[in-house]
Chain A
Amino acid sequence: MAQPVYVGLDMGASRTKVAVIDRHGALLGHAAKKSGIDFAATAEFCLDTSLALAGVNRSDIVDAVATGYGRNNVAFITDKSKTEIGCHAKGCYHHFSEAITIIDIGGQDNKIIKLNAKGQRDSFKMNRKCAAGTGAFLEEMSSRLDIPLDEMNTLASQATEMIKLGSYCTVFSATEVLENIRHGKPVADIIKGIFYSMIQRVLEMDSLTEKVVLSGGVVAHNPYLVEMVEEMIGRPVLIPKFPQLTGAHGAALYALDAATTGGP
């Protein structure tokens, strides 16, 4: 039976994610797809897919908010937008309503967002104009090694040792990777080193508070990377049920707010 729903569209540089929630903020439907070159078509596809999953129609949408790099490209769906920093914060706080540090590892950028116990942002940092530590770095390495992205996690988990990469730069790192291959180092050990390098780049962006939440597509698809983060920071991390959707979920929560309070 149809019900009023609220939609969040996260038009990321790499992937588009859509979340459909009910008036309590619960996730009813979702979809994710490579953003590609036609943001509008991808948004339409993800919206229809997630609405179908939720069992509702477009006419049931009470409000929608867009976020991500393409947030201003979907005005035909909604002219309301919030930054991905705000939406990731909102989405993560919905799951973990306490003072948290959010580490979001996205396709093109990373964010470290610190929230107080009320869910207000104390600070945020985005990576500088550099792909180090982002999903783009992983994609580049996957391409150089000719290993599909979805096999990287399994291979990394099979490593017996770790080949540390010394470079900051993606191009220099790729050269190091190739050098290690030439020297006959096990691919699994190299991939673990790639994961380590990514995590290190992210962790050096800012200090962490006690409770750490991980989100983003890289986290969603690489559970071994999460284990490595826990090992490196010396404590367990919190993960939302759908880490890739936290931005879209946060945007949907803003849509819910907008419908009830007139924001955002």
Chain B
Amino acid sequence: MSLFTTIRDKLLNVAQGVGEMLALLCETVYYFKEAPRNLASIFRQMSIIGIGTLPIAMLVALFVGMVLSVQTGSELANYGSQEAIGAIVGISMVKELGPVMTSLLVAGRIGSAMAAEVGAMQVYEEIDALKTLEINPVRYLAMPRLIACLFSVPALVAFATVVGILGGGIVADINPQIDVPFSVYYDNMVRALSYKEIFKGLLKAMIFGGIIAHVGCYVGFKTSGGARGIGESTTRSVVLSFLLIMVANYLLTRIMM
């Protein structure tokens, strides 16, 4: 096979994948109208995504906030401007670290589980069974997961951001190198943050949540080849989610500037 044929086939595969993903997204969004009678399923997914991920998301955010504070605060202290640490940690957590870090965590923990679950259903004929029962698999499986992620990920990000900021504040207060009282840290942070910035962070989180659910379901629906195929789908969903979150993060940051 020539290099040209290989490149052509790869490009065709990518174009086909993008087309299929867009078609699935349109179908999933179309079934949003069926959400009221799928509330139980949506709440179940929200519980898995939100409550299940909350402890680890908060723990990670706490340490990220602490590390950010200790590293940046020490540097700022060299120039005597350590009081700005509240604003720096606040803006970093709200605009970037909170949404991106939490979304990557959810993609690794929940997106892969979604791909594995839907993939197993595909491999073990459960999706075919749904079709013969005249139940649309996109409405039954993808729609509740997408809606749940759209709401759960911003909620998780909000909690994680607060915990991260608190962690940063505690370190700034107790670390003798930085030595910024919590009240000063808090005042600086509040002055630097606006509702608009918070809204932008949560909007990013919502879009990242949508990416995670959509990729998990798409990869799940495309699974074939038994246990090995399920394993490959799990990996593929994580890689694709990470990639799309990073690309979307750049584009959203650029648009929202």
- Verify that A and B bind, or say they do not: no
